[in-house]
Structure 1
Amino acid sequence: MSETFLEDNFGRRIDYLRLSVTDRCDLRCSYCLPKGFRDFGEPDHWLNFEEMTRVVQAFTELGVQRVRLTGGEPLVRRDLPLLAGQLAQLPGLTDLSLSSNCTRMDKLAGPLYEAGVRRLNVSLDSLREEVFARVTGGGKLHKVLRGIEAAQQAGFAPIRINTVAMRGVNDQEIETLLDFCAARGFTLRLIETMPVGSTGRDALEDFVDLQTVKRRLEQRFTLTPDVQPGGGPARYYRVAGSDTRIGLITPLSQHFCDTCNRVRLNAEGTLHLCLGQEHNYPLRDVLRRGAGVEDLKDHLRTAITLKPQRHEFREKPSQVVRFMAMTGG
């Protein structure tokens, strides 16, 4: 394995880290957390900002260029702009982004942008107040919309709207969501439900094959292949004659494991090597024993050898027992 970048046993270069700063969320999306769930990790078990910065430095010195802050809902972690500012100063880190539900973004957009966060993905599954409240366990749509507006005014770009497509819930709203994004210069990204935890498996009852959605959209639009900045798995298309883009994230109907370039570090310091497998490597104890960056790099090289070739969502849908919020989005 090269000393200058991370490469797994299947020749895939790892240059993208999704860093969860908390497993807690102020919403209860039906496909993510069970209703009434309270068994969250203790804050003392979460990595502190110094520990997070140290492990991210080890990653960047091994060629990881992109870091996305996730949760749970990352904005519930106190003083998040402080962490963002520390990470933004790391040599080699060229892209610091954020995934959020934006319920608290109206107050944090400015500080986060000033700290160095530039790109934003927003979870938004409906533009209908009653549907949004049902999916999110009582969330208020107007708070999200206010947060999105604040983020755009602060300078975040691109802003991408992430929508989990659900049959009988929002699948007939996709064109409306696309129009909403087109009017604001956003990109719409549609996501297939995944059997991550019991809630994810339950959500498969509402599974929507995005290949069928693409064919439906092609009856109204001409879609041409396109690209967007970032290291994620979406396949992008531009609506001909416009600047509007749509991305499809299709882990079940058209998986993208052969090009997977990412790993996830959860808030408690466990490195998850695949969203659809239980392969992991704990780093918290290593960090709290005082491991420096060079020692951490050795641990990361070992951890990457555990990354599996692909998920088994279809073959073994009950395999992943952790909820999405525990993994990091």
Structure 2
Amino acid sequence: MSPLADRYGRRFPYLRLSVIPACNFRCTYCLPHGYHADANTTAPLSLAEITRLLRGFTELGMHKLRITGGEPSVRHDLTDILRTAAAVPGVTKVAMTTNGTLLTRRLHEWIDAGLNAINVSVDSLDRAVFARVTGHDRLEDILHGVDMALEAGLPSVKLNAVLLRDVNDDELPGWLDYLRDRRVGVRFIELMQTGDNLPFFRDHHVRAEKLETQLLESGWQALPRAADAGPAREYLHPDYAGRFGIIAPYAKDFCAGCNRLRVTATGDLRLCLFGEFGIPLRPLLQADDQLDDLVRAIGGQIGRKEQGHFLHEGRTGITPHLASTGG
């Protein structure tokens, strides 16, 4: 079957799969009161269901997978998920986004299972600010885990920092020092409005273009975007080992290069992080002989993908917070 493409000519080699909505952090911009399951919470996809899902997506040209949450390491079978994903024919890159709390204990186990790219959420290099944002005083241990990933030769190591006005938007000098000798990509992510964070968004949203202008004025140069890359615009400087990336969802034409689809922890296909609906795939993940039906279902829905999100209009879709869908 030909690769998955929508009516605007965009192709989708990249799948972001949430494996659990739960998270052990209390980040102010996502789950400030922590994660709380209710009585109606549905169990996340099983290992067998995940395997069938990935086989369906690879039939449609997916080759890059990112495991997300919540916090994926909350799942006790995460290593098995990584190993299974890496073994699916057609999957060439297995990445994961994590808060890094188990990096120092599980990193080599995950690499042995097939992990070859990792993004770690580090919203500040200031210990006090990090603790205030996340609810956990774990910065030193997490940064040690990042250094372990570099020493292990992991092909891609990136840090994610959500930009927050009057909280961490003045830390560029510290990040410059951090990147001078480390081959790490640091991605500054513009705060996005979700279903439950409007007051926080109004208080702390800052446009990422301001930081982008600072980088350009300091001699950083924009890099071409790879076909299976994420949404970041990346910048390189000859005097630094690392790179910066800017994710600016409110920028003009941000969605023009969209190349990824999402599946929630319970098996709903989301055509957009801020879409108005989910398409339940779980009924088609119960037996190996459902593969053709699964492929047809995914392919039949792609025509419903909008040209862009509606965040500029304050429409956040059915995403109450980023942990619910995987960010």
Same fold (TM over 0.5): yes
Distance of aligned partners of 1:240 and 1:217 in 2 relative to their CA distance in 1, 3 Å threshold: same
| One-letter identity of the residue aligned with 1:224 | Q
Amino acid in structure 2 at the alignment position of 1:180: Y
Partner of 1:39, secondary structure, is coil
Q: Supply the distance in 1 between the matched residues of 2:301 and 2:120 (Cα, whole angstroms).
A: 30
**Equivalent runs, 1:251-270 vs 2, <5 Å:** 251-270=249-268
Shift of the 201–285 alpha-carbon distance from structure 1 to 2, 3 Å rule, reads farther
Distance 2:23 2:35 in 1: 11
Aligned residue pairs: how many?
A: 326
Query: What is the CA deviation profile of residues 25-69 of structure 1, one whole-angstrom value per residue up to 9, with x for unaligned ones?
Result: 111111111314413687862100110111111101110111001
2:181 match: secondary structure: helix
- Determine helix, strand or coil for the equivalent of 2:304: coil
Pick one of 67, 70, 74 that aligns with 1:69: 67
Shift of 1:321: 4.4
- What's 2:136 paired with? 138
Specify the alignment match of 1:210 in structure 2: 208
Structure 2 residue identity aligned to 1:151: A
Q: Is the 8 A contact 1:30 1:199 kept in 2?
A: no
Query: Residues 112-165 of structure 1, C-alpha deviation per residue, up to 9 Å, x if partnerless?
Result: 111111111111011111111110123421231232123223332221111111
| Counterpart residue identity of residue 226, structure 1 | L
Identity of aligned residues (%): 37
2:76 to 75, 78, 100: 78
Residue matched to 2:105: 107
Determine if contact 1:33/1:199 at 8 Å carries over to the other structure. no
Residue equivalent to 1:8:
6
Corresponding letter in the other structure for 1:191: I
Cα separation, partners in 2 of 1:162 and 1:311, compared to 1, 3 Å: same
* Corresponding residue to 2:220 among 219, 223, 235: 223
Aligned pair in 2 of structure 1 residues 287, 200: CA closer, same or farther (>3 Å)?
farther
**Native 8 Å contact 2:25 2:34 kept in 1:** no
2:190 paired residue number: 192
Q: Which moved more, 1:242-251 or 1:68-77?
A: 242-251
CA offset at residue 319 of structure 1? Answer: 4.1
What TM-score, normalized to structure 1? 0.92
Aligned to 1:245: 243
Tell me the equivalent position of 1:129.
127
Cα distance between partner residues in 1 of 2:92 and 2:198: 33
* CA distance in 1: counterparts of 2:84 and 2:34, whole angstroms: 35
* Secondary structure of the corresponding residue to residue 6 of structure 1: coil
SS at structure 1 position matched to 2:313: coil
1:32 aligns with 2:30: yes
Question: Which residue matches 1:153?
Answer: 151
Q: Equivalents in 2 of 1:321, 1:237: separation in Å?
A: 30
Is the 8 Å Cα contact of residues 113 and 155 (structure 1) preserved in structure 2? no
Structure 1 segments unaligned to the other structure (5+ residues) = none
Q: What is the SS of the residue equivalent to 2:311?
A: coil
Aligned to 1:23: 21
For 1:288-327, what aligned pairs fall within 5 Å after superposition? 288=286, 292-327=290-325
Whole-angstrom distance in 1 between the partners of 2:238 and 2:148: 29
Does the 8 Å contact 1:101/1:123 carry over to 2?
yes
Distance 1:292 1:319, change over 3 A: closer
- Give the deviation of 1:248 after TM superposition: 0.7
C-alpha distance in 1 between matches for 2:319 and 2:16: 20
- 1:210-266 Cα deviation digits (max 9, x unpaired): 1111222334x2011214765201111111344431111010134421111111111
196-205 vs 22-31, which moves further = 196-205
Instruction: Give the letter for the 1:155 counterpart.
Output: G
Q: Aligned-residue CA RMSD in angstroms?
A: 2.1
CA positional deviation for 1:91 = 1.6
The one-letter amino acid paired with 1:132 is F
SS at match of 1:171: coil
The structural deviation recorded for 1:11 is 1.6
Amino acid at match of 1:97: A
Amino acid at match of 1:63: G
Higher mean displacement: 190-199 or 221-230: 221-230
Task: Indicate conservation of the 8 Å contact 2:223/2:235, yes or no.
Answer: yes
